[in-house]
Amino acid sequence: MGAQPEVQLAVSSVSKHFGGVRAVEGIGLSVRCGELISIIGPNGAGKTSFLNMISGFYRPDTGSIMFEGRDITGERPSRIAALGIARTFQNIALFSGMTVLDNIMLGRHVRMKAGVLSSFIYWGLAQKEEVTNRARVEELVEFLELEDLRKQPTSGLAYGLRKRVELARALALDPKLLLLDEPMGGMNQEEKEDMARFILDVNQQWGTTIILIEHDMAVVMDISDRVAVLDRGRKIADGSPGEVQGNADVIRAYLGTAKDRQEVAAA
Amino acid sequence: MPGIEWQFTLVLLTNGVMIGLMYALIALGFVLIYKATDAINFAQGEFVMFAGFIAAGASDLAGAPFWVAALLSVAGMVVLGFGLERVVLRPLIGRPVIAVVMATIGLAAVLRGGATLAFGGGTRAIVMPVGDDPIELGPVMLPPVQLIGAMVSIAFLAAFSWFFLKSRIGIAMRAVADSQQVAMAMGIDVRRYFALAWAMAGVVSALGGIVWGTMLGVDNQLALVGLKVFPVVILGGLDSILGAVVGGLIVGVVENLAAGYLDPYLGGGTKDFAPYFLMIAALMLRPEGIFGRRRIERV
């Protein structure tokens, strides 16, 4: 075996309870640099809660999260974003009333150093930053084929395009780790194929590590290096797409046992 | 005589526009905070009053020249804005809206009491070095204070419109207002933008305090100007700068027309309730205001 790339994200046995609900129960996951890993599982399995802990929206009740050797457990989301972890949201979360370009430029926010006060005082620095960052945004616009939509308000765009703009905005952070929460949810087949291609390109061309939550099994098995399966807050499998597909626990979680199915059919 | 009648209307309208622009300036402070932090600031009038007290105190008590007093007032209000956000409002982030509302109502009382304590109960004057001779604009004579007040309003309303539409920080502030969570995921430190919004409201209030204080004199009553903010923003829309301008103009004009045409029949005082009458009508017909964003709740 050749030298493995180093571990970028090490999540060790994190838990999150909401009242009596055990959303996440002792999940561990280690992700290597450049890996594309998918997290699958039935609804309510804890996938989004897990992602929310990595991006800092939830503070884990127990366990720890290390990113590039640094403990980021319970850090503020804005700090985690600045360290190089970007994300998209399950429900499209574009800023309404803004153009495509404004939305993507907001992703550059962490890369722009001129602060609130200094950009009032020293206008030149802010302007220079604006130009360099605009250039990077332009690359992303081209990469995601959004050229014709720059000045369009996001509210008027088709669903698939809005999802694409959200990806562009996340990529504008120049993330080392990208968390995608159902980027293909609600898309038609053609839109899904486009999105899958973009995700693969990001992963392969730029070496960005990706954690993907997705329900479409065909896509997941097709593009992932590794698949982790959650069920009722626990991780029940973790391996290559082939390994996971043959795993008895996974099949049970998704399809239920023969007995369960008979009960459902009888009901 | 129709000639005189026409002139009378023109005077009322011009006066209404000038006063309306000055209302818009105060309403802008309110809108800035609502736009950025979703908080309703019931202490906006007291902000204006407090700024007036700083300016009047500096010139009246310490004998500072007008410009120094004005600068002190602006600086003082920026500090107050930052400070209040840090001490009073930041701990309330994520609490129900009613908590913030109550906090700003309490703040209003503290500012009124504090100002009296620090500056005494009497009415103080702010003297703008522009003289008292009215400026003649065609058939209309205007006090210079009103004209300056209106010009300051226009300048700042334009500047803030630009800020929110074009500047990076203004756009980030809109992002924070739109969704704090998503803004955080972009690496935006939401708390800093809240603080900035309060500081900006402080600047606007300082200008409002100086202009209104020059016109009315500075005492506790100055805070009552802030009450006019509510019809203005309800009419224009809570989160719209353009709405603050239009709402301000409507309130200013309606007030003056009511005073000119209804007072002789109703025995006076219509000026004070006409704007609220309009506000109630607006709430029934178009609760989000003329330019306000209709909130769509996803259930």
Q: Per-domain residue ranges for chain A?
A: 7-84+175-266, 98-162
Owning domain of residue B167: 12-129+141-226
Give A116's pLDDT tier (boundaries 50, 70, 90): low
Task: Say how far apart CA B66 and CA A86 lie, in whole Å.
Answer: 51
CA distances (Å), origin B142, targets A244, B12, B26, B217: 81, 11, 21, 18
Residue B267 included in any domain: no
Give residue A174's pLDDT: 95
The answer to whether B262 and B275 have CB atoms below 8 angstroms apart is no
Establish if B189 touches chain A: CB-CB under 8 angstroms.
Answer: yes
Establish if A245 touches chain B: CB-CB under 8 angstroms.
Answer: no
Task: Compute and round to an integer the Cα radius of gyration of chain A.
Answer: 20
Give residue B39's pLDDT: 84
Establish if A165 touches chain B: CB-CB under 8 angstroms.
Answer: no
Task: Say how far apart CA B102 and CA B108 lie, in whole Å.
Answer: 10
Task: Say how far apart CA B296 and CA A78 lie, in whole Å.
Answer: 27
Residue B187 to residue A93, Cβ atoms within 8 A: no
The answer to whether B120 and B58 have CB atoms below 8 angstroms apart is no
Give residue B297's pLDDT: 44
Mind telling me how many Å the CA of A231 is from chain B's nearest CA?
26
Give residue A62's pLDDT: 95
Kindly state the tokens that stand for B104.
């700003």
SS (H, E, C) chain A: CCCCCCEEEEEEEEEEEECCEEEEEEEEEEEECCCEEEEECCCCCCHHHHHHHHCCCCCCCEEEEEECCEECCCCCHHHHHHHCEEECCCCCCCCCCCEHHHHHHHHCHHHCCCCHHHHHHCHHHHHHHHHHHHHHHHHHHHHCCCHHHCCCEHHHCCHHHHHHHHHHHHHCCCCCEEEEECCCCCCCHHHHHHHHHHHHHHHHHCCCEEEEECCCHHHHHHHCCEEEEEECCEEEEEECHHHHHCCHHHHHHHHCCHHHHHHHHHC
Kindly state the tokens that stand for B169.
């920080």
pLDDT along chain B (299 residues), means of 10: 75 93 94 87 95 92 90 96 92 83 94 90 87 83 90 92 87 88 91 93 95 92 91 90 93 93 86 89 85 58
What are the tens digits of pLDDT across the range A223-246?
999 999 999 999 999 999 999 988
Give residue B2's pLDDT: 55
Sequence-distant (6+) residues with CB within 8 A of B167 are A119
Residue B260 included in any domain: no
What are the tens digits of pLDDT across the range A145-165?
999 999 999 988 988 999 999
**CB contacts, 8 Å: A81 with chain B:** 184-187
Task: Say how far apart CA B293 and CA A104 lie, in whole Å.
Answer: 23
Give residue B198's pLDDT: 95
Q: Residue A29: phi, psi to the nearest 5?
A: -160, 130
Which of B35, B182, B191, B239 to mutate to test binding with chain A, by most A CBs within 10 Å of its CB?
Answer: B182
Residue A106 to residue B169, Cβ atoms within 8 A: no
Residue B61 included in any domain: yes
Mind telling me how many Å the CA of A106 is from chain B's nearest CA?
7
Nearest residue of B to residue A79, measured between CA atoms:
B187
Q: Nearest by CB to A110, which of B181, B187, B192?
A: B187
Establish if A107 touches chain B: CB-CB under 8 angstroms.
Answer: yes
Nearest residue of B to residue A54, measured between CA atoms:
B185
**CB contacts, 8 Å: A93 with chain B:** 179, 181-182
| ipTM of predicted complex | 0.85
Which of B186, B193, B198 to mutate to test binding with chain A, by most A CBs within 10 Å of its CB?
Answer: B186
Give residue A246's pLDDT: 86
Give residue B232's pLDDT: 94
Residue B21 included in any domain: yes
| Predicted TM-score (pTM) above 0.90 | no
Establish if B186 touches chain A: CB-CB under 8 angstroms.
Answer: yes
Task: Say how far apart CA B119 and CA A30 lie, in whole Å.
Answer: 64
Residue A105 to residue B171, Cβ atoms within 8 A: yes
pLDDT higher than threshold 70 for residue A262: no
Q: Nearest by CB to B171, which of A76, A93, A106?
A: A106
Residue A116 to residue B196, Cβ atoms within 8 A: yes
Residue B146 included in any domain: yes
* A7-84+175-266 carries CATH number 2.130.10.30: no
Nearest residue of B to residue A82, measured between CA atoms:
B187
Residue B200 included in any domain: yes
What are the tens digits of pLDDT across the range A59-101?
999 999 999 999 999 999 999 999 999 999 998 889 888 999 9
Residue A244, burial from CB neighbour count under 10 angstroms (0-12, 13-18, 19+): buried
Q: Please state, for a pLDDT cut of 70, what percent of chain A lies above it.
A: 90
What are the tens digits of pLDDT across the range B94-122?
788 888 889 999 999 999 999 989 888 88
The b-or-e profile of B49-77 (16+ CB within 10 A means b, else e) is bbbbbbbbbbbbeeebebeebbebbbebb
**CB contacts, 8 Å: B168 with chain A:** 105, 109, 112, 119, 126, 130
Residue B36 included in any domain: yes
Residue among B269, B241, B276, B271 nearest B253 (CA): B271
Q: Nearest by CB to A95, which of B175, B193, B293?
A: B175
Residue B182 to residue A89, Cβ atoms within 8 A: yes
Give residue A1's pLDDT: 47
Mind telling me how many Å the CA of A81 is from chain B's nearest CA?
5
Number of residues that this document lists for chain B: 299
Nearest residue of A to residue B170, measured between CA atoms:
A116
